[in-house]
Structure formats: structure tokens, C-alpha cells
Amino acid sequence: MAQAALGFLLRNLREERGLSLREVAQLADVDHAYVFRLETGDKESPSDEVLSKLIRALKAPKREVDMLRYLAAHTDTNAGFVAYVRQNATVTFDEFASAAGMVFRGAGRPDYATRIERVRRILKDDDGHG
């Protein structure tokens, strides 16, 4: 089974803070087993309340907060794409959400950088700057 994007991002943020599963769970007042299931992808759509608690406990930056909320609602998002965006701080949330929601026909899929560049061109044209 492929890694769940929400779980990937939660674990990534937790590890950046140097927190264990139990520490995050305690800070968020959420069962540590539930946090584990979210991180492993056994659970993918936490309630808004639980997600808000985890966001506060992780002290997530605004872009990542928006990404977590997006991923909770869009469980089919690719974890590899989330990893790419996390490594590229120039990618805005709007660019992330637009590229994550792209639908492709056929077997070919553009790489993550190409997707972002396409979205940037589209957004630039929509703003009347192109």
C-alpha cells in the first residue's frame, strides 16, 4: 500500500519538532494509537477538531496547515508530491492544491516540477500577467 499523504506530512512535521508519537498525542490530547493510525494511513480523514489539535501541537506553519486540511479532504493525493512540495519552499499552497488536483489522461504523468510550472503559468495567465 502506498504511503498516505496526510500521514506522511504529519510524521514529517512531528519529526521536525523532534517529538515522539506519544508526545504529540499528549500535547494534542488525542490517543497516541490514533495518531499512529493517521501516520501509517490506516486512518485518513480525522475530524476537524482532531486535526486542529494536532496542528496546534505540531506548531505547523501556515502553508503546512493548509496542506494538512487539504489532505484530510483529498485522501488520494500522492505522498511523493507532498514530499516534493515540502522540499521546495517556493511552492505556495494555491500552487500545491492546483497541482495536486490535476487529472491526467493516459499513462504519462508529468513530474512534480513540471506540474508546478504548468500551474504557475496557468495562475499567472488567470491573474492577467501573462
Count of other CB atoms within 10 angstroms of residue 106: 5
Number of domains making up the chain: 1
pTM: 0.90
Q: Which three cell numbers stand for residue 76?
A: 488520494
CATH number reported for the structural domain that contains residue 61 in this entry: 1.10.260.40
Rounded to whole angstroms, the Cα distance separating 51 from 68 reads 8
Mean pLDDT, residues 6-10 taken together? 96
Helices (H), 30-129: 32-40, 48-58, 62-73, 79-87, 93-100, 112-126
Residue 10 reports pLDDT greater than 60: yes
Q: What is the pLDDT of residues 29-64, one digit of tens each?
A: 999 999 999 999 999 889 999 999 999 999 999 999
What is the percent of the chain where pLDDT is above 90? 79
Nearest to 39 by CA among 62, 60, 14: 14
Please give the residue range of the domain that contains residue 31.
5-126
